[in-house]
Amino acid sequence: MKAILFLLGGVLAAFLFIYWVRTYYATPERIFFFTVEVEGKGREEVLEDLIRKIREKGLGVVGVIDISNDYTLVLSCDVPWKGDLLRRVPSLSSLVPCPIAVYRSKGKVYITVPKEIYFVQDHREDLGQDYADTLTRMYQAVRIVIGEVAAR
């Protein structure tokens, strides 16, 4: 009897753990996007810092699109080979140029960018090793910039 109760307790604990992970950790937003909350700065200041840092790192800014008073999209990663990349894998147009969102939600400012790794892995053969590695390094540089902007 004790063994059955122990087994049922273990199964219940496993289900509760899986529920917790699925509900609070493994959300689509956390899986597919890198998001950072920026404390102590307004959205405009974050945008200025972000654009300046992107340019300092040599990533380039293709455009800045104000979608609303609370949401701006910065298109970065202005690389000369983007045309060739998009001819190879047109669906990666959602990744190049790199879309970086700066938005205000519930009184807080956030910066978010897609995680490229899932897309790159899916298209590694079509991309070729050089493009796949370069795209990954480029997004790593974008995440570093976002971290630097958020930390200041």
Give the domains, in start order, of the chain with CATH numbers. 33-151 (3.30.310.70)
Under 8 Å CB-to-CB from 145, ≥6 apart: which residues? 50, 53, 54, 57, 59
- Predicted TM-score of the model (pTM): 0.80
d(CA 74, CA 25): 27
pLDDT of residue 34: 92
Tell me the pLDDT tens digit for each residue of 70-126. 999 999 988 788 888 888 888 888 888 899 999 999 999 999 999 998 888 888 888
pLDDT of residue 26: 67
d(CA 95, CA 64): 15
User: Considering only CA atoms, which of 27, 28, 37 is closest in space to residue 147?
Assistant: 37
d(CA 70, CA 47): 11
Q: Is 138 helix (H, G, I), strand (E, B) or coil?
A: helix
